[in-house]
Amino acid sequence: MRVRATALFAVAAAAAVALAIAATAAASLIGIYRNNMESEAQQSQIAKLSGERCRRGGSSHTFRIVVGKRTRECAYRTPVVGRDLEIAAVERLLSGTPKAARHKAFLAVNLRAGEAGARYQLAVFPLQRKAQLRKVLSDGTVKYLHIERNVKSVGGVNQPNVLRLRAFNITEGPEKGECRIVAFVARELVADVTDPAAGELQGRSSGFSVGALANAKGLVASVDNVVIRVPNPFE
């Protein structure tokens, strides 16, 4: 009977933890920042985070990015900093991108970004219909937390990619202090993982980036409809 009771207790405990995690993921959110990039004032709120040669502007209604020579990625940050955030943005790989650079090009949103490019990142490859959830450390190490292929919601050249990335620390149960990261392309769930080493990322910036696995020279992309949300503190 003791073995059976212990087993039942373990099942109940596991179920309670699962419910607590699910509640964290399903908790209602509050929007705290929105930027449609429809004016010079709105676009000026965005600052470059990293990237040696990155040119911005050229559009009155979207945030346009052109990647220069010997540059693999151009990253930008919003004014919002914080640990537990969700960021959403609409990004497009534009037809001005040279054909040779399109296949390896990616569009991304970032959370907990800090020094030396450390961050959580959701990256999609428009011509590969692939999504990657990455954890980048300050020493340049890239950990692939999840890779999803044949993502129907990924749009091709000139088509919108609606990216959404959420990183919330778990606040109760045996996984307290770990981070649950959930990623969507449009309404399609592409990653749902828990990172037990969330403390490796000390940055708190939120933002977006464009780049390529190899040299991204000539890559042209646009970003608009950036929204940032936080967990509802009244629940």
Which residue would you say has higher pLDDT here, 82 or 17? 82
Which pLDDT value is given to residue 60? 84
d(CA 78, CA 33): 9
Contact between 131 and 190 under an 8 Å Cβ cutoff? The reply is yes
Q: What mean pLDDT is predicted for residues 4-31? A: 45
233 pLDDT band, cuts 50/70/90, is confident
Which pLDDT value is given to residue 27? 61
- Map residue 175 onto helix, strand or coil: coil
Which residue would you say has higher pLDDT here, 109 or 213? 109
**CATH number of 29-231, picked from 3.40.50.300, 3.40.50.720, 3.30.930.10, 2.60.120.560:** 2.60.120.560
3-class SS letters over 110-160: EEEECHHHCEEEEEEECCCCEEEEEEECCCCCEEEEEEECCCCCCCCCCCC
- Map residue 98 onto helix, strand or coil: coil
8 pLDDT band, cuts 50/70/90, is very low
Which pLDDT value is given to residue 118? 96
37 pLDDT band, cuts 50/70/90, is very high
Q: Is the pLDDT of residue 12 over 70?
A: no
CA 26 to chain centre: 18
Residues in the chain: 235
List the chain domain ranges. Answer: 29-231
d(CA 188, CA 150): 11
pTM, two decimal places: 0.87
Q: What mean pLDDT is predicted for residues 200-226? A: 95
Which pLDDT value is given to residue 7? 33
Which pLDDT value is given to residue 116? 85
Across the chain, what does the average pLDDT equal?
89
Q: Please state which of the ranges 18-27, 66-75, 79-88, 137-146 shows the lowest mean pLDDT.
A: 18-27
Q: What mean pLDDT is predicted for residues 22-38? A: 78
Which pLDDT value is given to residue 38? 94
Beta strands across the sheet bearing 142-148 = 47-50, 73-81, 205-212, 105-113, 119-125, 130-136, 142-148
Kindly give the pairing relationship between strand 63-67 and strand 54-56. antiparallel
Percent of the chain with pLDDT over 70: 89
Q: Is the pLDDT of residue 159 over 70?
A: yes
Amino acid in the structure at residue 137: L
d(CA 206, CA 51): 16
Which pLDDT value is given to residue 17? 35
Contact between 168 and 229 under an 8 Å Cβ cutoff? The reply is no
